[in-house]
Amino acid sequence: MSDLPVIRLRPKSKPQAIRHGFPWVYADEAVLDRRTRGVAPGALAVLEDAERRPLGLVTVNPNSKIVARVMDADPEARIDAAWLEARLARALALRERLHDAPFYRLVHAEADGLPGLVIDRFGDHAVIQPNAAWADGMAGAIADALVNVTGVTGVILNGQGRARGLEGLGERMEVLRGTAPERPVPVTMNGAVYMADLMGGQKTGLFYDQRPNHAFAQRLAGGGAVLDVFSHVGGFGLAMLAGGASSALCVDGSAPALELAQQGAQAMGAGDRLEVMRADAFYALEALAAEGRRFEVVICDPPAFAPSKPALEAGLRAYERVAKLAAPLVAPGGYLGLCSCSHAADLTAFRNVSARGIGRGGRRGVLIHTGQAGPDHPTLPQLAETGYLKALFFRLD
């Protein structure tokens, strides 16, 4: 492996972080001379500290703020089919321990030792999101390894999203192996049925990360009416219908997502208890308040309002506004669930603005539960970004 290029840390950088498991090297931490900048995005290199001691094998992208991602602590490792299959087999072993059916996040990027790569499994199909240059370049090899390790017959590449743009990667959507399903795939979670559109839906087609928070919300629904805002394909709304809610109103700006929510409700025999509203979420919250509507449980699960540190302040204001508008819609003694998938907004900041928003909405309450992503979305302790999801549940007076 001595023919690989070398990328070296600057003298003031801290190699201890890499040795202790931090998986990234930022551009301002590395010596970026003409030779390093000439390395092709996604190529492999040996990472060294300032004293030329090897730290591991990395993949390099001179076009990204994350100039190197650690692939293996062994600088002599070979990133080939056997290496990919070993990483996938390790990830699969965890998911098979957690879940009885093959519907889960199979690979959660850095936390599963496959930096920048996300893979969700839907039975006989898998959807991969290669959000790093190396994974995009090796997509075919990853698909082959997936087939060999898991036995899936179809592999779809969904190359869309903000993360790819940060890597200098263009958008692409293609079937890598087998064929795409002709219709949405039904996925059962917590007794609810969700319809996942693997070719036309958001991200990979379904969000598995909220599974444990759906289960908690079910326990609050009782026989009451519930409201699910930013519902996508009916995440919390369908879960609470499965848990015994008398009715659910799902609000989202996407007509196709709401159609999938209705299909899911029909599949689980709850079509007559689901109402949908296509509207801007903030407008819908204000309109429902003006109508005097009240719900036993209100859940707001918006997209990332603070996807990066520069967007943090504006994002926190948006989360506070959601809490302010949602709180008045909760019946006395009812429950409000507020979620954030913004890694830039940590739990403390999100909890503070949520509580302030509830107060500004004229309500008082206590925090009864704090949730996070399910265990098929493991968190790398050294990398806060892998622990992005926060779910707060309040009981309001």
> Mean pLDDT of residues grouped by 10 in the chain (397 residues)?
86 93 95 90 96 96 95 96 98 98 97 97 97 96 98 96 89 95 96 95 87 98 96 97 98 96 98 98 97 98 92 96 98 98 93 98 97 96 89 97
Query: Of 250, 300, 339, 341, which residue is the catalytic one?
Result: 341
Please report, for residues 157, 172, 196, 259, the alpha-carbon distance to residue 154 in angstroms, rounded to integers and kept in the order given.
10, 17, 15, 25
393: left (phi over 0), alpha (psi -120 to 50) or beta: beta
Please give the model's pTM, rounded to 2 decimal places.
0.94
Alpha carbons 249 and 110: distance in angstroms, whole number: 37
Of 369, 358, 345, 370, the C-alpha closest to 397 is 358
Q: Which residues of 329-339 are buried (b: 16+ CB within 10 A; e: fewer)?
A: bbeeebbbbbb
Q: Cα(158)–Cα(173) distance, rounded to whole angstroms?
A: 5
For residue 239, what pLDDT is reported?
98
Q: Check if 339 is active-site.
A: no
pLDDT of res. 36: 87
Helix (H, G, I), strand (E, B) or coil at 94: helix
DSSP three-state, residue 208: coil
Do residues 45 and 68 touch, judged by C-beta distance below 8 A?
yes
* CA atoms of 60 and 40, how far apart (whole Å): 8
| Two structure tokens written together for 360 | 């500004």
Q: Tell me the residue length of the chain.
A: 397
- The residues, ordered by sequence, that sit 6+ positions from 40 with a Cβ below 8 Å of its Cβ are none
pLDDT at residue 1, as a whole number:
47
